[in-house]
Amino acid sequence: MVPKQVAPALQQSVNAELAGLWGNVALRATESIVPKLDTASPYHLALIGGIATDKSQLLTGQATNRTESARMVYVQPGSLRRLSRRVLEGEFEELPELPEGPETA
């Protein structure tokens, strides 16, 4: 049983040892899965592919998820055409304000 309070140096040592052990488990599991990919079901291939992609990205420091948000303003089609025409013809020095409208997220 591990005590609740562990010295930082000891905790780092334990973490490094566990990381090494789990790394070996991952290698052995991967080695046993690869030969079976040719006979795996589509479901299992999708599952394995998704997990493998996530873990590969995680191990290489790439993003494993992404959160996006967007703000959209409704613009009447005629207003957008007029604005586009003015932009293309260079009829103004600064961009005009877009008309007010209900916002959607």
Predicted confidence (pLDDT) per residue in 67-79, tens digit: 888 887 777 777 8
Provide, rounded to the nearest whole percent, the portion of the chain with pLDDT above 70.
82
Ranges of H-type helices in 1-105: 8-33, 42-59, 77-89
- pLDDT tier, 9 (very low <50, low <70, confident <90, very high otherwise): confident
What's the chain's average pLDDT? 80
Residue 60 has pLDDT above 60, yes or no: yes
Mean pLDDT of 40-69: 85
Q: Report pLDDT for 41.
A: 92
Q: Does the predicted TM-score (pTM) go above 0.85?
A: no
Distance CA 60, CA 40 (A): 27
